[in-house]
Amino acid sequence: MNIGFIGLGVMGKPMANHLIDAGHKLYSCTNISDIHPDLLAKGLHVCATPSEVASQSEIIITMLPDTHDVEKVLVGDNGVLMDIKPGKVIIDMSSISPAETKSFAYQANEAGCEYLDAPVSGGQTGAESASLTIMVGGNQQTFNQIKPVFEVFGKNITLVGDIGSGQICKISNQIIVALNIEAVAEALLFASKAGADPSKVRDALMGGFASSRVLEVHAEKMIQRQFKAGFRVDLHRKDLKLALNAAQELGISLPSTATAMQLFNSCAAQDEGGSQDHSSMIKALELAANHQLNS
């Protein structure tokens, strides 16, 4: 198929690479993100604008940092929805506002196009290994049509519900991940301050009920103090802001999510806006405890 892919960053680049390897013809544009020479060498076609990408493509995928980026690409000047022909499918795989997602879907439907919101989980590793979890909002018929495309770079692919449900599921995912990071960081910090080897504690806990992917992957990063970004603090802050804003609109309290947000804010204040991996949340807890892991 002819597929437009807009947003070739840490996640988008390997996803696009898998699509090319699967035989799809890909189009992108340089005014949104840089295009890696490897993709150009594989035959990725470069367009001037998102609108031009849409004109060449049957399916248009966006993989962008935030809501305003998706808005710019879809409905801004020379955006995807400018003069788009009916019958195309737009898939937003970014993590953005559920309310704005519904607005974008409405505008796509008004133009005679289908729309899916399909955020992902699994990080850079999942994108590179084609094992992403994909949480989809939209109608069943469009989901069935697009699922073979999702299977090129994803493993666990679920139609959660109507438009916006994918984003709601992703926000829920980010709440769980953030609170798991906080729990693991607190436990390791407690163990270290109490005189136990946090590495040995991690090994022991991996065989029990406390075992998790966060304990497996992020605890190791904390112990080794390897905070090169797999998923940046600033992006997780963005997702928790979506959660807290939605919670306020719903009239519910998310107290632990709010605490995790403040810890990420502390990390961002220490680290030039939050460019390190979200496992670096432990730095905020170390500051509060006046104790560094492994010290």
Which of 170, 221, 238, 283 is the catalytic position? 170
Query: Can you tell me which residue has the tokens 């699922």?
Result: 147
The rounded percent of the chain whose pLDDT value lies above 70 is: 100
- Residue 33 dihedral angles phi and psi, to the nearest 5°: -150, 155
- Residue 284 dihedral angles phi and psi, to the nearest 5°: -65, -40
Has 221 been annotated as catalytic? no
What interhelical angle do 165-193 and 281-289 show, nearest 10? 40
User: What pTM does this model have?
Assistant: 0.92
- The answer regarding whether domain 168-289 maps to CATH 3.40.50.450 reads no
> Identical fold at 2-162 and 168-289?
no
Number of other residues whose CB lies within 10 A of the CB of residue 72 = 16
Q: How far is CA 236 from the centre of its chain?
A: 9
Work out the pLDDT band at 123, boundaries 50, 70, 90: confident
Q: What is the pLDDT of residue 32?
A: 73
Mean pLDDT of 162-170: 97
Work out the pLDDT band at 273, boundaries 50, 70, 90: confident
Work out the pLDDT band at 188, boundaries 50, 70, 90: very high
Q: What is the pLDDT of residue 104?
A: 98
Q: What is the pLDDT of residue 33?
A: 72
Q: Which residues contact 61 (CB under 8 A, 6 or more apart)?
A: 3, 4, 5, 6, 15, 91, 92, 93
Over 80: is that where the pLDDT of 31 sits? no
Structure tokens at 185: 């960081």
Work out the pLDDT band at 79, boundaries 50, 70, 90: very high
Mean pLDDT of 189-200: 97
Q: Where are the domains of the chain?
A: 2-162, 168-289
The domain covering 2-162 belongs, at the CATH homologous superfamily level, to: NAD(P)-binding Rossmann-like Domain (3.40.50.720)
Closest CA to 89 of 204, 4, 213: 4
Q: What is the pairing mode between strands 59-62 and 25-29?
A: unpaired
